[in-house]
Amino acid sequence: MGKLFFFTGEAVRAIKRNVAPTTAAVVTTVLTAMLLGVLIPVFQTAQSKGEDVRGQLELRTFIYDDATKAETQALQQKLDNIPHVASATFLTKADAKQEFMSSDFGKDNPDVLQQLGNKNPFPANFIIKPDDAANLDAIRAAISPVGANGKAQPISPIISKVDDRQEDARDIEQVTGALKLILTVITALLIAASLLLIGNTIRLSIYTRRREIEVMRLVGATRWFIRWPFMIEGVIVGILGGAIAILVLWIGKVTVVDPLADKFALMNAQDSMSFAALVACLFISAILVSAIGSGLTMRRFLKV
C-alpha cells in the first residue's frame, strides 16, 4: 500500500509539472470517449432496426381464385409442416383488399380505391413468417421444389405465385453488414488513434525526465518500479477524460435525446444497453486506453 501511495504521488507531481501535455492527453481522451459514446448507440440502433426489419420479411403464396376450401385447407396443412415456418396465415380476397386499403399506399392514393369500387383484383394468399429471415430461401424451395423436369413445381396446384421478397432480404443484409463493418473500423481507428495520441503526449512528459529514468535504471531500479508512476498518470488522465466525456454525453442525453425519444423511434431503440452500462463501458475503456498508452510509451525509454 505504501508503494501505491508513493507511485500515485509521483504521478500527481508529474502531472503538475507537465500541465500542457496532460491537458492534451485529457482532451484526446474526452474526444475519443465522446465519439465512442455516440458510435456505440448508433451501432446498437442499426443492429436493432435491422433485426426488426428482418423479422418483418415474409413469403406471400398467392392462390388462384377458383381454389376450393378443401384445397386451401390442404395447402394450409402443408405449409404448416414445412421446416422453419413460424406461421402461415390465410388471407381471403376480402382480407387482401382490406389490407391494401389499410396500407400506406392505399391511404395516400384514395383515387386508386375509388377506381376499384366494388371490384376486387387482389388474390387470396398465405402470409408465411419464417423463424429466421435467413431461412426464406429454404422455405421457398420447399414450397416450389424442383421437379423431375428440372423446373420448380409448387406443392399444390392452386398456387399461382410465390413472392419471397429476396431482393429486400439481400438489401437488408448488405446494408446492415456494411454498416456494422464501417462502425467497427471507425471504432478500431478511434482506439488506435487514442493510444497513439495519448502515448505521444505522455512521451513529452517522459522525455523531459529521460535522464532521471536512465539514472534510476543504472542504479538498479526495476522496469516496473519506473513504469508504475507513468501508468498511474495514464489512469488519472483516463479518469479525468472519461468523467468529462460522460458528463457531456449525459447533458446531451438529457437535453437532446430524451425530449426527442417519443417523436423519433431511432432515438428510443437502445434497449439492449442502458445508459448506465454505456457509461461504465466508456469509463473503463478511457482508463484502459490511457494506461496502455502510457505503458507502451515507456518501453523505449526503459532500454538502457
Which residues, in sequence order, are bridge partners of residue 61? 126, 162
Over residues 77-105, mean pLDDT: 87
98 pLDDT exceeds 80?
yes
Q: Return the pLDDT at 298.
A: 65
- pTM of the predicted model as reported, rounded to 2 decimal places: 0.56
Reported confidence tier of residue 299, pLDDT bands at 50, 70, 90: low
The listed range with the strongest mean pLDDT (71-85, 183-197, 261-275) is 71-85
Residue 51's pLDDT is what? 65
DSSP per position, 28-74: HHHHHHHHHHHHHHHHHHHHHHHHHHHHH--EEEEE-TT--HHHHHH
Instruction: Inform me whether the pLDDT recorded for 152 exceeds 50.
Output: yes
Interatomic CA distance for residues 271 and 170, integer angstroms: 26
Separation in Å, CA 150 to CA 39, 108, 113, 153, 170: 49, 43, 41, 9, 25
User: Mean of the pLDDT values across residues 251-269?
Assistant: 65
Is the pLDDT at 268 greater than 60? The verdict is no
Q: Please state the rounded mean pLDDT for residues 43-58.
A: 68
Contact in structure between 12 and 22 (CB atoms under 8 Å): no
Read off the pLDDT band of 2 (50, 70, 90).
low
Return the C-alpha cell found at 302.
Answer: 526503459
Please tell me the predicted confidence (pLDDT) of residue 172.
Answer: 64
> In sequence order, which ranges of the chain are alpha helices (DSSP H)?
2-17, 19-56, 69-80, 93-102, 104-108, 110-116, 136-143, 166-208, 210-218, 223-252, 258-260, 275-301
* Three-state DSSP class for residue 228: helix
Q: How confident is the model at residue 115 (pLDDT cuts 50, 70, 90)?
A: confident
pLDDT in tens, 180-232: 788 778 777 877 776 677 667 666 666 766 777 777 777 777 777 777 777 78
Q: Is 150 left (phi over 0), alpha (psi -120 to 50) or beta?
A: left
Q: Which residue has the higher pLDDT, 299 or 20?
A: 20
Asked if residue 272 has pLDDT above 50, the reply is no
Tell which wins on pLDDT, 88 or 187.
Answer: 88
pLDDT surpassing 60 at residue 69: yes
Q: For a pLDDT cut of 90, what percent of the chain falls above it?
A: 7
- Out of 5-14, 30-39, 64-73, the most confident range is 64-73
Lowest mean pLDDT among 52-56, 78-82, 254-258: 52-56
Helix (H) or strand (E) holding 125: strand 125-130
